[in-house]
Amino acid sequence: MNRGTRDGTDDAGSRQPLHRPVLLREVVACLALCDGLVVVDGTVGAGGHARAIVSAIAPNGWLVGLDRDSEILAAARAQLAPGADGGRAEARVSLHHLPFSRLGEALAAIGQDRCDRVLLDLGVSSLQLDRPDRGFSFMADGPLDMRMDASQPTTAADWLARVGEDELADAIFQFGDERHSRRIARHLVATRRRTPILRTAQLARLVVEALPAPARHGRIHPATRTFQAIRMCVNDELGELQRGLQAARDALRPGGRLAVISFHSHEDRLVKHFLRAHFDVVTKKPIEATPDEVRDNPRARSAKLRCGVRREDAA
């Protein structure tokens, strides 16, 4: 399984133009946007979805954008600056270096305690993958970092140095869908006893070494799944999603809408069950990219969009 990215690259390394948001028309339709709404984009990234939202809620709406990555937030700030949308009437924009689980703080900063719409796009940004020094990708060698928020203390190298073999194998199997997870974990733990694992190219080489020969060739690079699993653990992505869904439910007004784009089966399952429990589901089945979008933008092939309307009696 190859996890897509929010705005430009897939984990196998194929390069796409930046700022091409996945399922853009479908997101705008699900959110049912109009002038004056307060909309939270909890994963603003490079601003692809946010630009469309700002246009749809102008001139009286608020776009509140959050991202864990301060560098990406700077790119979004440039994309959403006044006048960047061709001089048309624009909604107000407020950007915050926060994880989406803290969206309530971002709303409070603009004097709001509730919002009308929340969007969460759970893919990884190409602006992260394209920087070797960030350590997300094995396509160019760099330090084994993988932190979405560089101010957090634990890098992928730190995590890999201390995680137990069984926990590592379970993570690679569950979050990477890697059938050879036990072999990979065993080899990585044996290697770190001799030398620390500190570089992306080093980790990719070790994963390939651990695999049986037939598994070293395929549609995606054989280290893709392991890199994905480690990144999800380093950034506590499922924990953050659980907290973020609760925060979105608490912040949305009754009748407000939550839309989530996921790229991983565990994420999609969490979103599906959460919406069923607390929302009136708009998307009975997840919306997926059309064949045309997948052809033009291969990273969209694993994206799944779900949307729900907050119930009046949601607790």
- The β-bridge partners of 62 are 38, 92
Please report where in the chains the tokens 């969460």 appear, as a residue. 120
Rounded distance, CA 139 to CA 38, Å?
39
> Do the domains 24-126+237-310 and 150-234 sit in the same CATH topology, yes or no?
no
pLDDT at residue 87 greater than cutoff 50: no
- C-alpha to C-alpha distance for 83 and 104, rounded to whole angstroms: 28
CATH number of this structure's domain 24-126+237-310: 3.40.50.150
Q: How many CA atoms lie within 13 A of 207 on its CB side?
A: 28
Q: What is the mean pLDDT of residues 283-305?
A: 92
pLDDT score at 19: 53
Domain boundary assignment for the chain: 24-126+237-310, 150-234
More confident residue, 157 or 313: 157
Checking if the pLDDT of 68 tops 50, the result is yes
Nearest CA among 228, 175, 174, 233 for reference residue 203: 228
CA distance 27 to 67: 18
Residue with tokens 């989406």: 100
Residue 149: half-sphere exposure toward Cβ, Cα within 13 Å: 17
Which residues are CB-neighbours of 155 under 8 A, at least 6 positions away?
Answer: 135, 143, 144, 145, 146, 147, 234
pLDDT class of 13 with cuts at 50, 70, 90: very low
Give the separation between CA 309 and CA 114, rounded to whole angstroms.
14
What is the third-level CATH fold of 150-234?
DNA polymerase; domain 1 (1.10.150)
**pLDDT(60) > 90:** yes
pLDDT at residue 183, rounded to an integer: 98
Q: How confident is the model at residue 290 (pLDDT cuts 50, 70, 90)?
A: very high
Which whole number is the average pLDDT over 262-276? Answer: 96
CB 254 within 8 A of CB 42: no
Helix or strand run (H / E) with residue 309: strand 304-310
Question: Which of the two residues, 238 and 82, has the higher pLDDT score?
Answer: 238
Cβ atoms within 10 Å of 48's Cβ, excluding its own: 24
| 86 CB burial (10 A radius; 0-12, 13-18, 19+) | exposed
Q: Record the tokens describing residue 185, joined without a space.
A: 């974990």
Alpha-carbon span 288 to 22, nearest angstrom: 10
